[in-house]
Structure 1
Amino acid sequence: MTDLRRIRVDQVGSFLRPETLKSAFLAHARGTLSMEALVAKQDEAIRALVAKQEALGLPFVTDGEFCRLNWQVSFSDVAGWDLWAGSWAQFLKSPSNLGEGETPNEKGTDAVLSYRTPATGKLRLVESFPAKEAAFLRSVTTLPAKITLMGPDRVCQMCDVPGSAPFYADADAFLADVVAIQHAMVTELAEAGVAYVQIDEPSFTGYVDPATLARMEERGEDPLANLNRAIAADNAVIAGLPSGVTTGLHICRGNRASMWHREGSYDAIAEAVFGGLQHDRLLLEYDTSRAGGFEPLRFVPKGRMVVLGLVTTKTGEVETVEDLLRRLEEAGRFIDLDQVALSPQCGFASGIGGNMLPESAQWRKMEVILETARRLWG
């Protein structure tokens, strides 16, 4: 069996949805297609996607997040925090995931600011959305399955904590319940045979983004204390998993509809984050100068894998093997390349609308990643 902790290629989770699936979601949102019919369309699209990944030679498969309106609804079917209903309303308002005045390949509005949701009761897991995804994915492939979940710090940042009284007095209390629920979700995935669980924490770049840091300080928060709390929360979510389950944590600067939302290098948080997280694989956005240089990789402990997201999912321009090899060689000045793997910087479609590139470019980018890995690591 392949040791997924050591694989040299990775994929962050989502793939571009086919037009037939986009149309089905929109029809359901408008009330003209039943949920049963939508699920049938999802299943059909996932089968085709899995076959494509298998033919390409990827070491694991995802379902492309084809059952999700956006990446965040992994934390849905949770009583007391109704993100799911708000997601449908937002999708119907903007199927492309672009807000008013927003432009692809430019800085967009941070969803954390726009869609804060208050708790309406004590959080309770009704049904695990990722568990339903995993059950179907594992039924249509013999390859290992990878499932992604929104990280606890991101959930906490999306909560209107002051508006959550009397159920939650502060962010610490809310986060504790989020962690308990997500630990239960991850444990259920492991027990169901999911081989690779990835936590998505774009919130971590908030601790280097000047605008986000300023907002924290305006609220009287201590960014360093928040960061340390976030690291502890992410470690608690994966604590006690069986040794055969590979864990990853992904960090980016925003990916909705080919936009970005935060900026700042890893330097200020690298020692705490890279040294403190207990996940097997750290998947780091590195496709633009917004991520800074590779110097912070010196803080990655021996034995932990770093997946460098050198291939952008924001545009259709396809990277070359030669360019990727040069960047990997540069990274090798600060970390042993035996600890390194290669991937896109984020998913290709954080929401239904997807990023602004053709499906052909998506698959060509994956082919270039595979070829680069073969050239460098064999």
Structure 2
Amino acid sequence: MTVKNTTLPFRYDHVGSLLRTENLIQAREQYNSGSITNDELANIENSEIIRLIEKQKENGVLAITDGEFRRSWWHFDFLGGLDGIEYYEKETGLNFHNMETRKEGIRVVGKIDFSEHPFIQHFQFLKQHAGDMIVKQTIPSPNMLVYRADLNEDIYQDRAAFLQDTIKAYQKAIQAFYDAGCRYLQLDDTAWADLFSEEGHKKLRQKGLDPAEELNVMQTMINESIAHKPEDLIVTMHICRGNYKSNYFSSGGYDYASEVIFGGLNVDGLFLEFDDERSGSFEPLKFVNRKDLRIVLGLITSKSGELEDKAKIIARIKEAAFYVPIEQLCLSPQCGFSSTEEGNILTEEEQWEKLRFVKEIAEEVWQ
């Protein structure tokens, strides 16, 4: 039996990124070494994405994505394609738990805008080959540009102008995806996690930013960017605490930002990490104040291949239903399986088993 909502997100959904296949990994290595051309790499990406679409269908996935197979990073590839942004090599990477990422980032080199972007063509290819399936497009939220790009004060002396240009660029991007046929768009966002702990607050203050003010900025960036979205475009947001080779970037519950996240954002759904104690309790869900807001509980970890105890997952869903009616709840892995091309530490078959497990639990809970 297939159980799904009449409204997106689906009862059993997923965040978007999937483990890169061996063919794709080899092709990327050959391209980086100069052994194959960009066109040859694109042809291999096309073939692997077509196979991936069928693999998702076989495993019961309802929201088809391209697995982010054309990306190296979940965020930098999109952000680096915006007007006024440059992708570059840095001296240091991001400090994740027990490891440092690749030394890459983005910086402002001109006025921010959205004109042409390869992700539009990438979406069109996915939609063409997905047939009558629902296709989900994932992009980093505008907050990722605000908080992860190195700002050039010669270009933007006024931060407010930078924020407004970012909003306008995202409004154009969202309309462009819609015009290309997108009806399910997800904004991925790790910036909120800076508000979830005192350590995160300290990092903001070291940058001269006040956490309370930045909470308002993050809310404004989301709401203004989607303010003119077409009525039949579903926009969700995934809030993450970092995902790199099965490691995390930050910890902390939603408490500090809970009134804004659950009661002050105009998105249609929220994909939320709740797979371990780092994400805190369900209590912040009490601020959900809309019956049409879908809460996707990320109770299944994407960071390892071991399956959770089904009874415990069902019990946690019922626990969350104390705060939000179960009709508004959905289930997914807590994050993607490959936020960067390196991927998390599990096998492809374990990944598919996880997604089948999400479906199995959802069918039992929402039968």
Same fold (TM over 0.5): yes
Query: In the aligned structure 2, how far is the partner of 1:320 from the partner of 1:365?
Result: 12
Which of 241, 249, 261 is residue 229 of structure 2 equivalent to?
241
Tell me what 2:129 maps to.
140
Is the aligned partner of 1:19 residue 2:7?
no
Aligned to 1:122, the other structure's residue is in SS state strand
Q: Is the 8 A contact 1:144 1:194 kept in 2?
A: no
Q: Once the 2 structures are TM-superposed, how far is the Cα of residue 107 of structure 1 from its aligned partner?
A: 4.5
Aligned to 1:249, the other structure's residue is in SS state strand
Q: Within 5 A, what are the aligned runs for 1:247-326?
A: 247-303=235-291, 304-326=293-315
Is the aligned partner of 1:74 residue 2:74?
no
Query: In the aligned structure 2, how far is the partner of 1:55 from the partner of 1:204?
Result: 35
Q: Within 5 A, what are the aligned runs for 1:119-130?
A: 119-130=108-119
Q: Once the 2 structures are TM-superposed, how far is the Cα of residue 256 of structure 1 from its aligned partner?
A: 1.1
Which of 332, 338, 361 is residue 372 of structure 1 equivalent to?
361
Is the aligned partner of 1:351 residue 2:355?
no
Query: In the aligned structure 2, how far is the partner of 1:101 from the partner of 1:171?
Result: 26
Aligned to 2:297, the other structure's residue is in SS state strand
Q: Once the 2 structures are TM-superposed, how far is the Cα of residue 173 of structure 1 from its aligned partner?
A: 2.1
Query: In the aligned structure 2, how far is the partner of 1:227 from the partner of 1:30?
Result: 43
Q: Once the 2 structures are TM-superposed, how far is the Cα of residue 212 of structure 1 from its aligned partner?
A: 2.3
Taking a change above 3 Å as real, the CA distance of residues 177 and 115 of structure 1, as seen in their structure-2 partners, is farther
Q: Which has the higher strand share?
A: 2
Tell me what 2:178 maps to.
190
1:373 maps to a residue whose letter is A
Q: Once the 2 structures are TM-superposed, how far is the Cα of residue 101 of structure 1 from its aligned partner?
A: 9.6
Tell me what 2:150 maps to.
160
Query: In the aligned structure 2, how far is the partner of 1:210 from the partner of 1:110?
Result: 23
Is the aligned partner of 1:56 residue 2:45?
no
Q: Is the 8 A contact 1:16 1:354 kept in 2?
A: yes
Query: In the aligned structure 1, how far is the partner of 2:9 from the partner of 2:144?
Result: 27
Query: In the aligned structure 2, how far is the partner of 1:115 from the partner of 1:26?
Result: 17
1:295 maps to a residue whose letter is E
RMSD: 2.2
Query: In the aligned structure 2, how far is the partner of 1:21 from the partner of 1:242?
Result: 35
Determine what percentage of the aligned residue pairs are the same residue.
32
Which of 34, 38, 56 is residue 35 of structure 1 equivalent to?
38
Q: Is the 8 A contact 1:77 1:129 kept in 2?
A: yes
TM-score (norm 1): 0.90
Query: In the aligned structure 1, how far is the partner of 2:212 from the partner of 2:95?
Result: 33
Aligned to 2:327, the other structure's residue is in SS state helix
TM-score (norm 2): 0.93
Query: In the aligned structure 1, how far is the partner of 2:226 from the partner of 2:34?
Result: 38
Q: Which has the higher helix share?
A: 1
Q: Is the 8 A contact 1:294 1:334 kept in 2?
A: yes
Taking a change above 3 Å as real, the CA distance of residues 2 and 345 of structure 1, as seen in their structure-2 partners, is closer
Of 47-56 and 315-324, more deviation after overlay is shown by 315-324
Tell me what 2:165 maps to.
177
Q: Is the 8 A contact 1:321 1:369 kept in 2?
A: no
Aligned to 1:310, the other structure's residue is in SS state strand
Aligned length: 361
Aligned to 2:150, the other structure's residue is in SS state coil
Taking a change above 3 Å as real, the CA distance of residues 6 and 159 of structure 1, as seen in their structure-2 partners, is closer
Query: In the aligned structure 2, how far is the partner of 1:184 from the partner of 1:100?
Result: 30
Deviations 1:302-356 (A, max 9, x none): 3211001001111111123322111111111222111100001110001111011
2:270 maps to a residue whose letter is L
Query: In the aligned structure 1, how far is the partner of 2:219 from the partner of 2:134?
Result: 27
